[in-house]
Amino acid sequence: MRNKKIFMGLLFIAILAFSAVFIQLNMDVNSRAEKGKDDDAENHERIEKLLKKMTLEEKIGQLMMVGFKGTEKSDEITELIEQKHIGGVIYFDRNMKSPEQVARLSNSLQQTANQSAHSLPLMVAIDQEGGDIIRMKERVSPLPAQQDLGENASIEDMYKVARLNGTELGSMGININFAPVLDLSKTDKRSLGQDPEKVYQYGKKAIQGLNDVSITGALKHFPGNGRSEIDPHVETSSVEANQLDLENSDIYPFKQIISEMDNQKFFVMVTHIKYPAYDKEKPASLSKIIIEDLLRGKLKYEGLVVTDDLEMGAVNKYFSYDEMGKQAILAGADLLLVCHEYSHELEVYNGLLRAVKAGEVPMDRINESVKRVLTYKLNNMKQTKADPDQAGKVVKNPESIKYIESLSEDE
């Protein structure tokens, strides 16, 4: 009897302790939820204030991401950030010679952006896909091509490779990686394969791996480049498939990830290829039917839409730079990617500026995209300063190389 009383007493104490822990956990969760709501409300208020304060020139600048030459901050990129209020930059091999140098370059560019009227951070992007598409190839970890990962790696390895990649990029002050490629293809080394379900599952893991080390990924090339044999860098092409076929295959990985993941944690990059089943006239990147009706309307995507590089042959042979920015924004794109020539970047910027002043692009359309850019920046870009010494230790460290080599041994 005495033992039973002791047992009941201990049980009562345990229940009380458990209840206290449960109540505390609930309070913590509720507190975090309330803090999240407060942060959202604060950011929303700040964004509305910024929109009222920003000039048209500042707004248009935020809708552009540009490339530049050199491993240090050039006069041209300085002018674009200071005078044109450019929202982001993209790195290529020409900008990168060592992890430490890239980290210093990122800090230098962010410092220039921080000195502007609204101190908005720069989006710093790269195409670090793996395989042949690796910037500064000799100085970073030898990331496998997506085709190799799709054929040989586990879904967990897909996550680990993306996380490793993101860790290296983040240490150099890069916050956006234009990957993974979701195009369905049997032959393209950039593709995870032909199975829409597998491409979706592996693509989702890639985004998670990048996100978990504070890097934003990008799904590309919407609505799917895989059927085309023609490189859009060189020439235009059309995908001759009906809507049902496209939505059950090429578009499926995009649709699933959009419906399941936080749309603020990844961009969608739209291709320059034509899809006559949706729009007989315009390439996807300049098509309101594909961006507004399909991507935003049917698939309910709420994040940032970025064009593929507007200097590609698929579009620059058929549209002037003056016209392209206007057409892309009217179609629903938020971020115009112009990767190479300063003169082309100015043409896109000035063309859009003129179009808005002439009433050809409504101010509401500009504000809508600027709001998305500001929302992304305020919610996702808390830390923009890189540590060059840390970058030197993190990038291509022995453990990373050992892990990647183990993947090829498993094949």
DSSP helix/strand/coil, 347? helix
Give 296-329 pLDDT, tens digit per residue: 999 999 999 999 999 998 788 889 899 999 999 9
DSSP helix/strand/coil, 307? strand
Residue 269's beta-bridge partner residues?
306
> Cα separation of 372 and 264, whole Å?
9
Helices (H), 97-137: 99-114
Determine the residue type at 250.
D
> Cα separation of 178 and 220, whole Å?
8
Determine the residue type at 100.
E
**Of the segments 6-15, 37-46, 348-357, which one has the largest average pLDDT value?**
348-357
Query: Residue 102 pLDDT > 80, yes or no?
Result: yes
User: Which of 117, 119, 126, 135 is CA-nearest to residue 173?
Assistant: 126
Are 304 and 266 spatial neighbours (Cβ–Cβ below 8 Å)? no
Structure tokens at 349: 């910027």
Query: Residue 19 pLDDT > 60, yes or no?
Result: no
> Cα separation of 213 and 211, whole Å?
5
> Cα separation of 305 and 102, whole Å?
26
> Cα separation of 409 and 171, whole Å?
28
> Cα separation of 82 and 63, whole Å?
15
User: Which of 292, 300, 294, 303 is CA-nearest to residue 372?
Assistant: 303
Give the range among 179-193, 222-236, 246-260 with minimum mean pLDDT: 222-236
Its pTM stands at: 0.89
> Cα separation of 254 and 221, whole Å?
9
Give 194-247 pLDDT, tens digit per residue: 999 999 999 999 999 999 999 999 999 999 987 766 666 655 668 888 999 999
Whole-number mean pLDDT of the chain?
91
> SS3 string of 51-106?
HHHCCHHHHHHHCEEECCCCCCCCHHHHHHHHCCCCCEEECCHHHCCCHHHHHHHH
Backbone φ and ψ for 80, nearest 5 degrees, come out as -65, -40
Residues, the chain, total?
A: 411
| Neighbour tally for 338: CB within 10 Å | 25
> Cα separation of 64 and 58, whole Å?
11
> Cα separation of 173 and 102, whole Å?
8
Structure tokens at 283: 């390439």
Strand ranges, E, within 245-348: 266-270, 305-307, 336-338
Structure tokens at 20: 């206290």
> What pLDDT is attached to residue 116?
87
pLDDT band at 283 (very low <50, low <70, confident <90, very high): very high
Q: Which residues contact 366 (CB under 8 A, 6 or more apart)?
A: 56, 59, 60, 63, 329, 356
> Cα separation of 178 and 247, whole Å?
22
Query: Residue 9 pLDDT > 80, yes or no?
Result: no
> What pLDDT is attached to residue 44?
85
For helices 363-380 and 2-53, give the axis angle rounded to 10 degrees. 140
Give the range among 42-56, 90-104, 250-264, 323-337 with minimum mean pLDDT: 42-56
